């Protein structure tokens, strides 16, 4: 009994060290210009059986479960941050990239992987299917805080959030073709449309139900609302999966609906999701790092084959797929170049590469090792140069307006009152205006201004300056009206 307790305490200590080290490496990732997911994977490999041998982990079922659960959390957090106003304008090209683009990319990679890896045609198309989609976790992480033009950022986020179903569908299809004697082509095509359509319907329904519930159900503690929202994300995934629809697509759509609805506890939910999303990323990539055996991946045979397929993916397959998919949409050559280079691979391909292992596919270990090396190459080369390329192509822009955050007041939460936090941009119309001249509704009051690190007590003659942070106490009834007033920029309203 004492030995078991001691072992449990040691495991808790080890988890704490892993979490601390993983959080600290995020500081170095920004300085080194390397995506944090790479450093998380390295942490896992270092403490794994081929590194310091602190943890031995080779449970494919557990790795797949943790990977899928983490993807649900990450997709939900990314979808909550997606602005429907921007996404709506690029929905058609994003869906085209998420379907036709993935199919073209997978096919081109498969045609060349057949000869590079010396595997069967079905196994080659399985490899192409696994690496065919961009990864939401990687794209959200790289684009966060970057000033890439709204159109391109929205396209990449929408594509990465909706292309996982296509990759999952293709991967499972080729696994079935490899492991089953017969498979109906018509049935397979019908299944794809069912997965996409049913997943979208479930996502929309759960999105509206969860938004209604979050606003109407009065919970005893404001801390329960973020948990309530996460519960709906898991519910959306599980219901979709139970009816053989796309759970990941359903989660993303649910998150977009919730994120673009008026929420009573938006700030608490967003902040919780951000922290939980980081936790999911750390857990997922560390586990994937533990699961891989570097002595098997970093061999001469795997490395040269992985590099060759990576180059084909980055410089041939993805660009061709982007140019063909966007032929009927208005994107400049520079924009297509950046979209081509932004096809990051991350957790989804690694998680999908575990599926062949679970299904007992003959060359599953080779497939996993190759996919893992491709993901590392993509993250290191593409992930660290996206911002640089965007600047070289002059595809970065200044923010016109900063987002509005709502700070829920726990002490008066029952009174339907919130505090809006708003960072004033140089482009906002309220810059230079005196408080007494701003036409705020009766149920709104600017009660604090942060300027150059100091707090200013506002009064009627106080003039708003660019860079100010305003704290506005507002009734939820007039919240939208106040938001529109604050966000006015040079004759337009920023959504």
**391: confidence class by pLDDT, cuts 50, 70, 90:** confident
- The DSSP call for residue 428 is B
**490: confidence class by pLDDT, cuts 50, 70, 90:** low
Whether 171 and 311 have beta carbons less than 8 Å apart is answered as no
3-class DSSP assignment, residue 452: coil
Nearest 5°: phi and psi at 136?
-60, -45
Sheet with 444-451, side-by-side order of all strands: 404-408, 417-423, 469-475, 444-451, 454-456
**How far is the first Cα of the chain from the last one, in angstroms, to the nearest whole number?**
59
Does the pLDDT value for residue 413 go beyond 50?
A: no
Does the pLDDT value for residue 143 go beyond 60?
A: yes
CA distance readout (Å), 457 to 233, 385, 406, 462: 41, 44, 20, 9
Overall average pLDDT of the 359-379 stretch: 89
User: What secondary structure does DSSP assign to 286-339, as a single string?
Assistant: HHHHHHS-HHHHSSHHHHHHHHHHHHHIIIIIHHHHHHHHTTTS---HHHHHHH
Nearest 5°: phi and psi at 167?
-65, -45
168 vs 174: CA distance, rounded Å: 10
Of 17-26, 312-321, 401-410, 441-450, minimum mean pLDDT range = 401-410
Of 25-34, 66-75, 159-168, minimum mean pLDDT range = 25-34
325 vs 99: CA distance, rounded Å: 9
Overall average pLDDT of the 120-138 stretch: 86
- The DSSP call for residue 181 is S
Chain Cα centroid distance, residue 264: 24
Q: What long-range pairs does 50-54 form, CB within 8 A, spacing at least 24?
A: 50/293, 50/294, 50/295, 51/294, 54/14
Nearest 5°: phi and psi at 479?
-60, -45
Does the pLDDT value for residue 408 go beyond 90?
A: no
Q: What pLDDT is recorded for position 495?
A: 44
The residues, ordered by sequence, that sit 6+ positions from 269 with a Cβ below 8 Å of its Cβ are: 80, 214, 225, 226, 229, 263
Q: What long-range pairs does 334-337 form, CB within 8 A, spacing at least 24?
A: 334/393, 334/394, 334/395, 335/149, 335/151, 335/152, 335/395, 337/389, 337/393
Nearest 5°: phi and psi at 199?
-60, -40
Closest to 206 (Cα-Cα) out of 237, 160, 227, 164: 237
Closest to 49 (Cα-Cα) out of 289, 280, 302, 367: 289
Overall average pLDDT of the 467-485 stretch: 83
172 vs 182: CA distance, rounded Å: 14
3-class DSSP assignment, residue 224: helix
Per residue in 263-322, pLDDT tens? 777 777 888 888 888 888 888 888 888 888 888 888 999 999 999 999 999 999 999 999
User: What secondary structure does DSSP assign to 60-74, as a single string?
Assistant: HHHHHHHHHHHHHHH
54 vs 221: CA distance, rounded Å: 40
Bin 118: left if φ > 0, else alpha if -120 < ψ < 50, else beta: left
**Which residue has 């595809």 as its token pair?**
395
Whether 481 and 439 have beta carbons less than 8 Å apart is answered as no
Does the pLDDT value for residue 432 go beyond 60?
A: yes
Whether 40 and 220 have beta carbons less than 8 Å apart is answered as no
CB 286: neighbour CB atoms within 10 A? 27
């Amino acid at each position: 009994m004492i030995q078991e307790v001691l072992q449990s305490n040691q495991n808790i200590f080890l988890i704490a060290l892993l979490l601390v080290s993983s959080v600290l490496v995020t500081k170095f990732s920004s300085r080194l210009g390397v995506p944090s997911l790479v450093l998380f994977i390295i942490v896992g490999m270092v403490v794994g059986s081929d590194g310091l041998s602190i943890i031995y982990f080779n449970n494919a079922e557990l790795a797949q479960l943790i990977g899928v659960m983490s993807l649900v959390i990450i997709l939900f957090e990314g979808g909550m941050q997606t602005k429907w106003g921007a996404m709506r304008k690029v929905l058609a090209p994003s869906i085209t990239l998420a379907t036709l683009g993935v199919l073209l990319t997978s096919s081109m990679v498969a045609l060349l992987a057949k000869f590079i890896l010396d595997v069967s045609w079905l196994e080659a198309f399985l490899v192409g299917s696994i690496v065919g989609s961009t990864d939401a976790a990687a794209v959200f992480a790289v684009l966060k805080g970057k000033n890439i033009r709204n159109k391109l950022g929205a396209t990449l986020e929408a594509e990465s959030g909706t292309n996982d179903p296509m990759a999952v569908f293709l991967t499972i299809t080729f696994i079935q073709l490899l492991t089953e004697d017969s498979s109906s082509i018509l049935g397979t095509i019908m299944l794809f449309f069912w997965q996409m359509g049913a997943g979208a319907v479930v996502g929309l329904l759960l999105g509206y139900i969860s938004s209604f519930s979050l606003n109407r159900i009065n919970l005893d503690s404001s801390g329960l609302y973020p948990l309530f929202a996460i519960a709906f994300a898991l519910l959306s995934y599980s219901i979709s999966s139970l009816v053989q629809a796309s759970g990941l697509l359903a989660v993303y759509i649910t998150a977009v609906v919730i994120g673009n609805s008026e929420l009573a506890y938006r700030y608490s939910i967003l902040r919780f999701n951000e922290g939980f999303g980081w936790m999911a990323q750390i857990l997922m990539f560390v586990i994937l790092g533990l699961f891989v055996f570097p002595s098997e991946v970093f061999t001469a045979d795997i490395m040269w084959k992985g590099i060759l397929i990576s180059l084909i993916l980055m410089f041939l397959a993805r660009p061709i797929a982007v140019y063909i998919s966007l032929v009927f949409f208005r994107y400049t050559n520079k924009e297509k170049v950046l979209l081509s280079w932004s096809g990051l691979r991350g957790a989804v391909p690694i998680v999908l590469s575990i599926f062949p292992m679970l299904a007992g596919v003959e060359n599953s270990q080779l497939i996993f090792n190759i996919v893992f090396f491709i993901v590392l190459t993509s993250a290191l080369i593409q992930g660290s140069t996206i911002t640089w390329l965007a600047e070289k192509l002059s595809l970065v822009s200044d923010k016109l307006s900063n987002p509005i955050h709502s700070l829920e007041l726990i002490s008066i939460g029952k009174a339907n009152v919130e505090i809006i936090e708003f960072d004033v941009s140089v482009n906002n119309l309220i810059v230079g205006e005196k408080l007494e001249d701003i036409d705020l509704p009766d149920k709104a009051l600017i009660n604090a201004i942060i300027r150059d690190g100091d707090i200013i007590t506002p009064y009627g003659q106080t003039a708003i300056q660019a860079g100010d942070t305003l704290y506005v106490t507002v009734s939820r009834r007039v919240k939208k009206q106040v938001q529109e007033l604050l966000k006015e920029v040079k004759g337009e309203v920023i959504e």
